[in-house]
Copies of this chain bind each other. A is one copy, B any other.
Amino acid sequence: MSRLPRETTAATEPKPGRRASQRPTIRDVSRLAGVSRMTVSRVLSDPELVLPTTRDKVLKAVADLGYVPDKTAGSLSSRRTGFIALMLPTLTNANFAAVAHGLTEALREANYHLLIAYTDYDMAEEERQLLNLLARRPEAIVLTGAMHRRNASRMLMAADVPVVEIADLPSQPIEHAIGFSNYQVGRTAARYLLDRGFTRIGALAASPDGEVTDHRGEERMRGFEDELRLARLPTDAVLRHGSAPVSFHHGATAFRALVEAQPDIEAIFAVSDLSAVGAVMEAQRMNLRIPEDISIMGFGDFEIGREINPALTTIHVDFRALGLRTGKMLVDMLASDATPAPSVVDVGLRIVERASIKDK
């Protein structure tokens, strides 16, 4: 036999190319099944289009090779990544986690995948994260209100993708908004305490001057103060103490500080159940009776508030439902090619009365 290179053989050999991994591709499946790549693709995305006998051949090849389609390639071609971006201040907050949970659930049926980023309440980080997210070409973006840095807004407009702001109702929504008014939370809390007959009313929140800012929490405080002012009551017992995000410990130290500064305080609204629970614990340590000596209410209806003694009166927002609803809306929106008009949905809030408040 000649030792000259044989063109014909060379042509049928796989070209070396860039291929390094031995992971099977759709081409391998198609060869093994003896069909075209397109048929394989159809079997996996819309099996009804393919004859059952062909389908079985393909599925067998898929199984034999352990083929897992590459969504990166699919996304590029179909221009649909199947990603929904979610930007949160933090994951270590049960309510935000609940939002993510609800969203995921709603998106699962339509086979969207959540792409989560969190900012630790840091605005610069927010912008960087947003750029990272956009580079993944999500089909929609969900974010917690508050973000209104100029650049971020501009990037969002340019992204040409549905934007949903959640967990707040911004005065100037970028596009859609689903949430509740944090300002109204504050006013509602103050109104509730006023209606119970209290006149020495205080509040616990984080200082807005810290490195990180909890914009939504500050909105609640603003509403709270406004309602007090409308009732012609002083706001000097509204304590902004320590840095965001708040925690049990924050509530404990802030409570002590407030009580020491204002010994005659009758009722306290904490910016979050976390602070409120911390306050109740500190009160126990100070031998102050809740609610006989001081009434306390919180916000967020965290599970722990139901379990402590006394159980915590709080303002409830159904964050999981909020996530679910957002997800459903997005699935509908993305299924139809029409661009719906911007919408703003208020999911409302509800006072949950428990034992930590006693009418004056």
Contacts and interface: CB of A to CB of B under 8 A. Distances in A.
B70 A306 contact: no
A83 to B, nearest CB: 9
A134 interface: yes
Given A91-B91, A277-B304, A132 B155 contact: no
A136 B68 CA distance: 10
Interface string A72-116: 110110010100000000011010011011001000000101111
Given A113-B136, A278-B307, A92 B81 contact: no
A257 B271 CA distance: 35
A79 B247 CA distance: 43
Interface in A261-316: 277-278, 281, 284-285, 303-304, 306-309
Contacts of A348: none
A4 interface: no
B284 A136 contact: no
A187 interface: no
A101 B92 contact: yes
B72 A137 contact: yes
Contacts of A92: 94, 97-98, 101
Interface string A135-160: 11100000000000000001100111
A135 B71 contact: yes
